[in-house]
């Protein structure tokens, strides 16, 4: 897909913008990753990472970026015995995960709408 986009859009001053917008539009149908508390799911096959083909997976970045990453760091640290156990019930952790998922989806939707607006304006101008 990337090779096709590179060949299609050439090298004018708008080619990178066109390619970026369309790449974002092509990736929309992909299923978004969701945060969840493993303690509330009984089916361990739901823990697997499809693309990496691993049975258990967690993802996090720097804990200064997002609250979900702070939670993952704290839970991972506690599970490894490097810090005190978390004093939250699994249902409370799942509520936090649900909230993070809701905010992530809202942010993604705003990003998509912004790309749609840019693309519409670009098409109108051209």
pTM equals 0.65
**Which of the residues in the chain have pLDDT under 70?**
1-2, 5-6, 27-31, 63
Structure confidence at residue 98 (pLDDT) = 94
d(CA 98, CA 12): 43
Return the closest-CA partner of residue 125 out of 47, 31, 18.
18
> Which is it for the CA torsion 62, 50, 109, 15, positive or negative?
positive
Structure confidence at residue 126 (pLDDT) = 81
């Amino acid at each position: 897909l990337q090779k096709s986009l590179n060949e299609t859009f050439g090298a004018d001053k708008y080619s990178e913008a066109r390619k970026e917008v369309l790449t974002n539009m092509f990736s929309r149908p992909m299923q978004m990753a969701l945060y969840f508390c493993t303690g509330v799911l009984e089916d361990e096959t739901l823990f697997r990472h499809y693309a990496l083909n691993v049975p258990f997976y967690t993802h996090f970045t720097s804990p200064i970026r997002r609250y979900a990453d702070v939670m993952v760091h704290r839970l991972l640290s506690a599970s490894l015995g490097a810090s005190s156990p978390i004093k939250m019930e699994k249902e409370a952790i799942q509520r936090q995960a649900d909230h993070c998922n809701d905010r992530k989806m809202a942010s993604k939707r705003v990003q998509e709408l912004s790309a749609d607006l840019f693309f519409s304006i670009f098409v109108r101008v051209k």
